[in-house]
Structure 1
Amino acid sequence: MCTPGLTFVASNVLDPAKTLDEKYNKFYNDEHLPDVLASGLTKLALRYKNINTESKMPYIALYPVEDASMTGSEAAVKLIQDTRKSKTFDGEDIYDYINFDIRRYEKIQTYEAYQQEGRSGNERGRTIICVGMEPGDEADFDEWYRKQHLDMLGMCRGYRRCTRYKNMDDQQPRFLALHEYDCKAEDVPSEQIKQVVATEWSKKIVGEAKIFDRNVFELIQAQGQTEINL
């Protein structure tokens, strides 16, 4: 049985003086995402924008795949090569304008928080909190997620689901959690979340983490079979 995976791409404009966000987003939305979907590597393409305008990771693109091994396939390598020359940038090499950080993951857990009347359970959250972590004790870290942390987050207002991944190339932080909320980023229940991470177990896990990286993103583009979840 295949293990589902995710191609995670963080990107940013190299020189804002040379490339405006408007042109960058036109390339991504009108040219690149359709090319990715046409390649057959994924059925869904999602883009998010960081609410922190000073972040080194202003945009991310997520491409879930049915088989994690597809993320490093010959087709994936060919897609990268074929899309280097951009029509939006008049045939110039897109890597001269945009920096891409590509990471490959395999899925390790999906947690569905709740279903309300009239909802199928497939609705996508408008906001995603992306947490990268390199734990001190991997077994304790996994047990914390499965036995306490997600159940408590699931009681927070607007919490939809969490999808957890492990990096396939041992890039640190190796573990990625994508927490989806139904609300806008400004309405994420920060006070409730503070209570969740105030438990002794939570403080131990976060305190022992070698890397803890948290970013908040809002969904800006969804193409392909948008009923699919991560």
Structure 2
Amino acid sequence: MTEGLLFVLAEPGVVPEDEFHDWYDREHAPARLSVPGIRSGYRYRAADGARPGWLAWYELDLEALHSEAYQAIRRRSPREQSVVDRLETLDRRVYELIDDEGTRAAGAPVVVSVALSTTDGAGLDAWYREEHIPRLLTVPGWRRVRRYRRVEGPGPDLLAFHEIDGIQSFDHSGYRAATSTPRRARVMAKVTARERRVFAFHNTARPCLPGTP
């Protein structure tokens, strides 16, 4: 099995927030967690003031996305189609795991996603492995760093996905040191696209909520 990440950014737009959450928590997320190979799901809200304002991410075996069960749940109900048609943004991306460092823990309070494209993939990879990740994991509250390559959807080619205890980690001297080295500057000079987002925990997706069919 190939470890992957389903990463979905959404902005409700004209969809009322109560309707958006009810649809997501009672229909959309439970349907995905019913698919064998989709192991867990989480919802986060923007903590950086940027849009789209919501992130859902699912840990899974990539093969699950090609199964009959997954194709079945992608056939939208009338309610789901109505919501999706009115969303301002629905940005779906699929990633394949490159590496995973740190402590496994469900539902980190904050996640930081950094999507990158570069003209020097080998240099970027070596910097992450040899310098950047080891330094970040010494910062208090920096739990885990996973890196992925994009296999489906829009956006830059690579994703670094960080799980941390809170945005206070950004003020720590270790974080400032990890993000201001000469080697980082050389690597970043070859980056052609970069998207950095910060999200705070909203809830854990559930297979079925009380009162649902």
Same fold? TM cut 0.5: yes
Q: Distance in 2 between matches of 1:143 and 1:208?
A: 14
Instruction: Report the alpha carbon displacement of residue 112 of structure 1 after superposing the two structures with TM.
Output: 0.8
Which residue matches 2:200?
218
Percent of matched pairs sharing the same residue: 23
**Is residue 209 from structure 1 mapped to residue 191 from structure 2 by the alignment?**
yes
* Match for residue 68 of structure 1 among 62, 87, 101: 62
Q: What TM-score does the superposition give when structure 1 sets the normalisation length?
A: 0.81
| Contact 1:134 1:174 (8 Å CA) reproduced | yes
Q: Aligned AA for 1:190?
A: D
* Runs ≥4 residues deviating over 6 A: none
**How many residues are treated as equivalent by the alignment?**
205
2:210 corresponds to: none
Q: 2:21: which partner in 1?
A: 25
Instruction: Label 1:123 to 1:23 Cα distance change in 2 as closer, same or farther (>3 A).
Output: closer
d(CA) in 2 for partners of 1:223, 1:164: 22
The answer to whether the 8 Å contact 2:44/2:55 transfers is yes
For 1:97 and 1:41, the matched residues in 2 are separated by: 30
Shift of 1:75: 3.2
Residue type of the alignment partner of 2:140: R
The alignment status of 1:102 with 2:92, answered yes or no, reads yes
Structure 2: 5+ residue stretches without partners: 208-213
- Asked if the contact 2:41/2:206 (under 8 Å) is kept, the reply is yes
Does structure 2 retain, via aligned residues, the 8 Å contact 1:7–1:71?
no
Specify the alignment match of 1:117 in structure 2: none
SS at match of 1:144: helix
The within-5 A match list for 1:3-18 is 3-15=2-14
Q: Specify the alignment match of 1:169 in structure 2.
A: 152
Partner of 1:57: 52
Q: Please identify which structure carries the higher strand content.
A: 2
Pick from 78, 95, 105 the counterpart of residue 85 of structure 1.
78
Q: In the aligned structure 1, how far is the partner of 2:91 from the partner of 2:106?
A: 28
Distance between the aligned counterparts of 2:12 and 2:62, measured in 1?
A: 28
| CA distance in 1: counterparts of 2:85 and 2:72, whole angstroms | 19
Deviation at 1:72, TM superposition (A): 4.0
What whole-Å deviation, never above 9, does each CA across 1:39-70 have from its counterpart, x for those lacking one? 334121111111133x22211111111x2232
Cα distance in 1 between the residues matched to 2:78 and 2:176: 46
* Aligned twin of 2:171: 190
Q: Partners of 1:147 and 1:32 in 2: how far apart?
A: 39
5+ long unaligned stretches in structure 1:
114-120, 226-230
In 1, Cα distance between the equivalents of 2:110 and 2:116?
19
Does the CA-based 8 Å contact 2:96-2:148 persist in structure 1?
yes
- Aligned-residue Cα RMSD (Å) equals 2.1
